[in-house]
Amino acid sequence: MTLEDQELKKAGLKVTLPRVKILQILENCSDRHMTAEDIYQALRDSDGDVGIATVYRVLTQFEAAGLVERHNFDNGPAIYEIDRGEHHDHMVCTETGKVIEFHDAEIEALQERIAAAQGYQLVGHSLVLYVKPKTS
């Protein structure tokens, strides 16, 4: 019973080979931001016989279970990352594609206030900054 197995159990998900492998890939990947296709390729490269449909299904379940977060940058494929419980937003370099995480308590607070001012309650948000290196 590995750590991954326990996480899956805790999330109420049956411990299956595809799910364990996908969880491992997400935990071990270097930049922590992978597309479904990236994961599919990683599986393919190692050994697996996991279909792309399963990758999507498993990622959706992981998201529902709070194990991973899904983000949509502009157009293009969604990216997935392990949810470590530390909320953050993203900055994407338009030249290199690099993704940088950041968190700003002030912005978070302002968002709440803005929603409240219109008679709403904030249930979520998506903030992506598109940036380029300063010296170009």
Partner DNA sequence: CCCACAAATGCGAATAGTTCTGATTTGCTT
Partner DNA sequence: AAGCAAATCAGAACTATTCGCATTTGTGGG
Residue from the set 4, 32, 35, 108 that interacts with DNA by CB under 7 A: 35
Provide the 3-class DSSP secondary structure of residue 1: coil
Which of DNA, its own copies, none does residue 19 bind (CB under 5 to 8 Å by kind)?
DNA
Pairing of strands 79-82, 34-35: antiparallel
Residue of 75, 81, 74, 37 lying closest to 56 (CA atoms): 37
Residue from the set 44, 57, 87, 132 that interacts with its own copies by CB under 8 A: 132
Contact flag: residue 17 with DNA (CB under 7 A)? yes
Contact flag: residue 87 with its own copies (CB under 8 A)? no
Residue from the set 24, 41, 60, 111 that interacts with DNA by CB under 7 A: 60
Number of neighbours of residue 125 by Cβ within 10 angstroms: 13
Please report where in the chains the tokens 């978070």 appear, as a residue: 108
- Please report, for residues 71, 110, 117, 123, the alpha-carbon distance to residue 114 in angstroms, rounded to integers and kept in the order given: 22, 6, 5, 12
Residue from the set 74, 84, 86, 97 that interacts with its own copies by CB under 8 A: 74
Contact flag: residue 124 with its own copies (CB under 8 A)? yes
| Contact set with its own copies (CB under 8 A) | 72, 74-75, 78, 91, 93-94, 100, 102, 104, 106-107, 110-111, 114-116, 118-134, 136
